[in-house]
């Protein structure tokens, strides 16, 4: 595979679709076993935390096992915050991709997730940075850092919102 920005965009669109359709096995397969998934907390109006091991985060999984645990809880009904699951629609825009010396890709994008639950619709939105590596005719996510730009979070926040 000769990766291009267009193939990376298609990968991100596919990831969004798998999440929206709750196709969890296919969704999880997009992540490396040792992926770092980080959603930092804001320290001030324009500064967020940077070290998830020493500072507060809204979500931090040091490996795919954290995502797998959340999916397990969703599937088994052991997460009251996910019962019932909200309907979601993920949108990805402004994708920028830069090849790295180690063969991976540093990818930045903007995102918005519309979700509906209990008769209410809301939107989470922000920026995201990925580290992707080509694998076969697709990619695997090596890291994902999400910056949530919402001022107020009125609902429990989970991986499927971002």
pTM of the model: 0.93
Phi then psi dihedrals of residue 72, to 5 deg: -60, -45
Looking at the DSSP assignment, which residues form a beta bridge with residue 75?
none
**What is d(CA 112, CA 93) in angstroms, rounded to the nearest whole number?**
9
For the chain, the average pLDDT equals 92
Sole residue written with tokens 């990968």: 11
Dump pLDDT digits (tens) for 91-111.
999 999 999 999 999 999 999
Burial class (CB in 10 A: 0-12, 13-18, 19+), 130: buried
Of 21-35, 124-138, 143-157, the range with the lowest mean pLDDT is 143-157
Looking at the DSSP assignment, which residues form a beta bridge with residue 125?
112
Work out the pLDDT band at 4, boundaries 50, 70, 90.
confident
Q: Residue ranges per domain, the chain?
A: 5-161
Fold classified for 5-161: Nuclear Transport Factor 2; Chain: A, (3.10.450)
Q: Percent of the chain scored above 70 by pLDDT? A: 99
> Is residue 48 pLDDT above 90, yes or no?
no
Q: Which residues contact 35 (CB under 8 A, 6 or more apart)?
A: 61, 63, 64, 67, 141, 142, 143, 144
């Amino acid at each position: 595979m000769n990766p291009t920005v267009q193939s990376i965009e298609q990968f991100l669109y596919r990831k969004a679709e798998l999440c929206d359709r709750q196709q969890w096995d296919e969704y999880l397969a997009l992540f490396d076993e040792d992926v770092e998934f980080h959603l930092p907390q804001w320290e001030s109006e324009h500064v967020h935390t940077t070290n998830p091991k020493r500072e507060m985060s809204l979500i931090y999984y040091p490996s795919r096992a954290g995502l797998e645990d959340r999916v397990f809880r969703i599937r088994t009904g052991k997460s009251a915050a996910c019962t019932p699951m909200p309907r979601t629609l993920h949108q990805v825009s402004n994708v920028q991709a830069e090849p790295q010396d180690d063969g991976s890709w540093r990818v930045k994008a903007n995102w918005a997730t519309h979700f509906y639950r209990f008769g209410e619709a809301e939107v989470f939105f922000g920026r995201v940075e990925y580290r992707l590596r080509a694998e076969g005719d697709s990619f695997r996510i090596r890291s994902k850092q999400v910056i949530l730009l919402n001022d107020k979070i009125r609902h429990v926040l989970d991986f499927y919102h971002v």
